[in-house]
Structure 1
Amino acid sequence: VRPHLVGLGDGGATGNSLPGKVTEVQWRGATHRLYVSVDGHRVMADVRELRTPPAPGDTVTVHFAPEDAVLVPAGLTGGGDHHG
């Protein structure tokens, strides 16, 4: 899921809410990029600039719409177009 498609909170009816722990917060002008550890996986969320962003170590819930997710098979490295 691309970072700009991940939001904070339970997401309402999307059904794809995941609890995690904030590992890093970056201010990027109009947005904050949050790095969240969800079951050992790094999830990035670009959210509108927050007046009081969460701090590293805080527990948050992230969400996304099912149609915004792409499942990548295990072992795929994305290293270009390999044939053979």
Structure 2
Amino acid sequence: MSENVQTAMFEILKRIQAELSSFRAEVNAGFEASEKRFDEIGDLVRKQRRDTAGLLVMAKATTGQFAEDLAAVEERVRVLEARGL
């Protein structure tokens, strides 16, 4: 009877060990997938920052050009008003 108990105990321990091994593999795979996804998100965030910086430069250039054009129109209006037209 004692031999049957020991055999059963070893079989149970083998199953537990196999399940733990399987669980570790699943957890590791999950962590790897999460890390890959975080890397992809990091790349996307860097791309968005770069794109936003580019848009900011374009917006500043457009605003500067608009301010120059408006100043030119105001100067022309001032000259015309000074003439009395």
Q: Give the TM-score band, short-chain normalised.
A: under 0.3
Return the structure number with greater helix share: 2
Return the structure number with greater strand share: 1
TM-score by length of 2: 0.15
Highest relative contact order (Cα 8 Å, sep 6+), 1 or 2?
1
Which protein shows a greater Rg?
2
TM-score by length of 1: 0.15
